[in-house]
Structure 1
Amino acid sequence: MDEILFDEKNTRLQIEAESWEAAVEIGGELLVEQGCVEDSYINGMLQKVNKHRMDVVIADGIAIPHTRYEDGAFRVGVSLVTLKTPLSFAESEEKVKVVLCFSAMNIQDYWHMVSFALDLIEYDVLDQLAEAKTLEEVRSVMALC
């Protein structure tokens, strides 16, 4: 997993979110706090989930909320939110337990983030990632990929 590191600034583990919107807002706020996006980007992510759920929930267990950089991105960023209780996004049948929000500045950044998310699925580490309770456990899971 080249160049994508999780730390205390971009990670929240075992969150009890009331709704998928709350989960996206938590991930979005982490992007805002890192200086990657402005607040409007969060609204863009919420709208994209409502309109294009299939682009966001890419497999059972994982969602990758994002929107266009024109919606308020300043630089590339990523946040990881794991959910204590899996949630359905926008009435989907899939239950999401890993929310990987990101901002991209161009198509290469976008595909890098999507590839990263697909690697989590391919290496079959979503359950381990969702169950992680510490950053050290997250890093151990990432080392498997």
Structure 2
Amino acid sequence: MFIRVNDWQQAVALAVEPMIARGEVEPRYLNAIYAMHREIGPYYVLGEGIAMPHARPEEGVINTALSLAIVSEGVSFNSPDNDPVYIIFALAAKDSHSHIAMIASLSQLFCEEEIVEKMRNAGSKKDVLKILSQF
């Protein structure tokens, strides 16, 4: 869960791969995120140090899902106001309503700099899950 990566593509893959492995998204979902990033830029970098890569439901979503990766050294997503990104929540939603609901649920967490910092510096998966259980 706490890994170094070389670039934003590897960071997004790290976050999306568990959803692919669990059968929640098709492998093409990852390619759809890459394509949208190339087309419109890092639309999913939501705040300083936080990204939520996602694509449209028809791009391979099987079930609504969320996956988390923490990049210990941070990675540039070419988002000058928000780089480096450390926390990556990969999102897959079967419909736009689910997408909005998931982002709304996590928005409180994103606004809490102290919580984000605790997640970034957590020592284990258990520690991160304990932090997330508050939301």
TM-score (norm 1): 0.84
**Correspondence for 2:75:** 87
Preserved CA contact (<8 Å) 1:69 1:105: yes
- State the aligned residue count: 132
Amino acid aligned to 2:127: E
- CA distance in 2 between counterparts of 1:16 and 1:137 reads 19
Unaligned segments of structure 1, at least 5 residues: 1-11
Amino acid aligned to 1:112: A
What is the alpha-carbon root mean square deviation over aligned residues? 1.5
**Correspondence for 1:3:** none
Preserved CA contact (<8 Å) 1:61 1:97: yes
CA offsets, 1:93-116, max 9 Å, x none? 122100000100112210122113
- CA distance in 2 between counterparts of 1:20 and 1:54 reads 10
Deviation at 1:123, TM superposition (A): 2.8
- CA distance in 1 between counterparts of 2:105 and 2:5 reads 24
* Distance 1:48-1:107 versus aligned 2 partners, 3 A rule: same
Runs of 4+ in 1 over 6 A off after TM superposition: none
Deviation at 1:42, TM superposition (A): 0.4
Preserved CA contact (<8 Å) 1:31 1:102: no
Report the secondary structure of 1:55's partner residue: coil
- 1:24 and 2:24 aligned: no
**Correspondence for 1:129:** 119
Unaligned segments of structure 2, at least 5 residues: none
Identity level (%): 23
Map 1:1-145 → 2, pairs under 5 A: 12=1, 14-53=2-41, 55-89=43-77, 91-93=78-80, 94=82, 95-124=84-113, 125-145=115-135
Which structure's relative contact order is higher, taking Cα pairs within 8 Å and 6+ residues apart? 1
Preserved CA contact (<8 Å) 1:64 1:117: no
